[in-house]
A and B are shown apart, each in its own frame.
Chain A
Amino acid sequence: DQQVKQNSPSLSVQEGRISILNCDYTNSMFDYFLWYKKYPAEGPTFLISISSIKDKNEDGRFTVFLNKSAKHLSLHIVPSQPGDSAVYFCAASAKDYNQGGKLIFGQGTELSVKP
């Protein structure tokens, strides 16, 4: 079941530059998207989300862009910092107000920010 795909298993970026992490989805019923950051031996940490009624959401250094026609979203981190080095997961949900909406996760992209 590959409803959410992150095709790049890893990404290396220089400190201060932009990191762009990509995610594709196939299920047109998804209407809420989230990005999580995960360090080894820890749980996923919520970063930023976007509803399908928007095409952009920004929070500090993090911006998520949603292209519904392409079923594609991306996370931009500007400027990248060494502390951003972690695995980033894209997740999607088809919200059902009675059920709360399970999350379907991508495989993750390991970001390495080099000083």
Chain B
Amino acid sequence: DAKTTQPTSMDCAEGRAANLPCNHSTISGNEYVYWYRQIHSQGPQYIIHGLKNNETNEMASLIITEDRKSSTLILPHATLRDTAVYYCIVRVAWGRDDKIIFGKGTRLHILP
């Protein structure tokens, strides 16, 4: 089973920041938080990942709480092309268990 809890769906106005929450209250010290998204009929696309520090790249920012039990993915200026299902995933940082366990994710609708 997925180790994360996400809202089923969210709306965001185009041009505004989209803030997608994720709860991972049972996360272990050796587990990363990963975010992927899946645009309709395409394969999942890697967005960002982090261990305990906040991370930023050209696509998004990842804010992880100090206790690491939750995180927020921020898309700073959402566009219509950001409409997708967003998956929050926890993964062990090392070891042989290399598979990704996906939940159902959050369906983000960007409204014009």
- Please indicate whether A and B come from the same complex rather than being unrelated chains: no
| Chain A positions near chain B (C-beta within 8 angstroms) | none
Chain B residues proximal to chain A, CB less than 8 Å: none
